[in-house]
Structure 1
Amino acid sequence: MGRLTNDFEAGRDDVRAPAMEAYMRDQFPFLGLSAGARRSAARATLTGLPRPTEAELATIARACWARDEREYQQFACDYLVTHVKVPGPGFLAVADELITTKSWWDTIDPLATRFVGGLVRRHPALTSRMDDWSGSANLWLVRTAILHQLHYGTETDTTRLFTYCTRQAGHRDFFVRKAIGWALRHYARTDPAAVRSYLTAHAAVLSPLSIREASKHL
């Protein structure tokens, strides 16, 4: 973490930071690093380092989550996605911890669509945990369950996708309703007829936002 902190601090931009904080509704302080600058600094930090172990992944992710500035959590998401083939199924507990702490879309979405999605794909027994998350009281776990198959394409378990969407169709939160639309819109690239049929059958329960998002390219 020392090397990462030094490299991130070297790029601190106190002029840029307030706008980034405002964009995130002032929930997190920022160093002021753009995504490109953050990833460039991360590459410099990681050059020459060996592939991490599962334990090291957990340690680094938690250390980043303990930092105040949002760029550290964003780095941790990139790092986990890069090394998604390293951890075993037990790592889902760490993902749960990250998803439910300092939660906002900028960390949830890469964790959901790339990391948790990859973890479940490699360890299919975890699909039952996605069933649990899809009915969670925590909206970010719900969003993760709905989005975790986003990049599965023809391997998508459509029964689960549609079941999760129906289960949360009346959810009051914008981020869940948006996730339903996003997941359906993305799956429509693979099977537009199935999505069209689902929307027709569930028009009475889905929110206008979910339907509008799902229908964008149909």
Structure 2
Amino acid sequence: MDVRGEAAQVMAELRAQADPVRAESEKRYLKSDFVHIGVTVPALRKVAVSAVKAEPTRDEVVALAEALWRVTQEGRPVHEARMAALEVLVKRAALLGPGDLGLAERLVRDSASWVYVDYIAERVVGRLVVRYPDLGTALDAWVNDPYMWMRRTAVLALLAGVRAGNPDLERLDRFGDALIGEREFFIRKALGWVLRELSKKDPGWVTEWVEARVGVISGVTLREAVRRLPGEDAERLLAAQRR
């Protein structure tokens, strides 16, 4: 693969679909300082995936993702280029190995928005941890990281196991207790989101976990956690917190 040429082709195809109105709207919604081109998610995904459809190697995938991630315009990162980088990694996630956890961490630390972090957390980090369980020790460190987006990554990475039917309940229990006093909205929301997804398959575990902490759990976390619980359990937990 000619990585530089492929990255340039991706950007040319994205710019050919530029929508200035959408770009401005998305920029406001994300409160972004990046350059926005204004390409829909399905269109962006189609362009990015086409770049890695010809059975690339792991090194080619990583090189292309890094090249797209570094694209700038007027000295600022380009939103769609970064999203294309993540689509490339997600499409070929099966080629990634334990050593690529460092790449994922670098991307998270270079992110400034949930829109990138959430993709990396579940679809790259989470899938790596499911395949290589020993990598979970990195999440144990990240959950206490000073950088808020690393803490969010540690929690949301657990979603991959939940969706695969093999939830890491021990880590969810520990991470939940470690983060239950968080002031950051994005951490509170992330914890509730994981609990909500787990409740679809194991409502009893979620009900019991939340009930034991109803006096200290945040409203944001609680509302998310009970969203898919049986109505009677959800109402009881909400009422208990109101009291």
Q: Same fold (TM over 0.5)?
A: yes
- 2:195 is aligned, of 184, 196, 199, to 184
The one of 4, 8, 33 aligned to 1:2: 8
Aligned-pair RMSD on alpha carbons?
A: 1.5
The aligned runs of 1:44-193 (5 Å cut-off) are 44-47=50-53, 49-53=54-58, 55-67=59-71, 68-153=77-162, 154-193=165-204
SS in 1 for 2:93: coil
Shift of 1:46: 4.2
User: How big is the shift at 1:52?
Assistant: 3.0
Partner of residue 216, structure 1: 227
Q: 1:51 to 1:60 in 2, by over 3 A?
A: same
Please give the per-residue CA displacement for 1:164-186, whole angstroms capped at 9, x wherever unaligned: 01101111111100001000010
Rate the CA distance shift 1:62–1:42 in 2: closer, same or farther, 3 A: closer
Could you tell me which runs of 5 or more consecutive residues in structure 1 were left unpaired when the two chains were aligned: none
Q: Taking every aligned residue pair, what percent have the same amino acid on both sides?
A: 31
Stretches of 4+ aligned residues off by more than 3 angstroms: 43-47
Q: Give me the TM-score of the superposition, normalised by structure 1.
A: 0.93
Pick which of 134-143 and 192-201 moved more: 134-143
Structure-2 separation of matches of 1:104 and 1:147: 14
Normalised TM-score (structure 2): 0.84
Query: Cα distance, 1:45 vs. partner?
Result: 4.0
Report how many aligned residue pairs link the two structures: 216
3-state secondary structure, aligned to 2:95: coil
Q: Bigger radius of gyration, 1 or 2?
A: 2
